[in-house]
Amino acid sequence: MAESPFEIVTAPRSRERLKFLDFQFEKLPDGQCRSRVVLEMHDGAQFVGESTGMGSATGELRVAAQAATIALQDAVGTRLNFELLGVKAVRAFDAVVVIVSISCHNGVPATRLVGSCLSETEVQRGAALAVLNATNRLLGNIVFVR
């Protein structure tokens, strides 16, 4: 049997991106809601983001996405600055897709990032995951490169 001209290359085992470790969301008795997101770095360091806000459908998505943005900002420190511009749940292809828009800047003109997450049951969790979807490639390529 002839040898293949293609070389098999395996990816390194170390995780360069943040891991979505924990998500909590609760509706409060006063009509507000609260979200908590925990992210973990490959070395085990954890970063927590918490946010509280309006308990409306749109407000819940924003609170969850903001908690993820705060945890993310804590993880990168001052290397980059993230600002949540918007979050929206849309029905597409017989499913709910949560989309976030994030501004990222580090002293130069801002870059706009967009992320999404397919989420049928837990749209708030989907909003937090969409933040990571928007930023993970940037973080892996710029911030966490050794």
pLDDT digits (tens, 9 = 90+) for 17-58: 789 999 999 999 999 999 999 999 888 999 999 999 999 999
Give per-residue pLDDT as tens, 99-132: 999 999 876 677 899 999 998 889 999 999 999 9
Cα torsion through 85, 104, 119, 53, rounded to 10: -40
Q: Which pTM value belongs to this model?
A: 0.84
What's the rounded Cα separation, in Å, for the pair 112 and 69? 14
Domains of the chain: 19-143 (3.30.160.270)
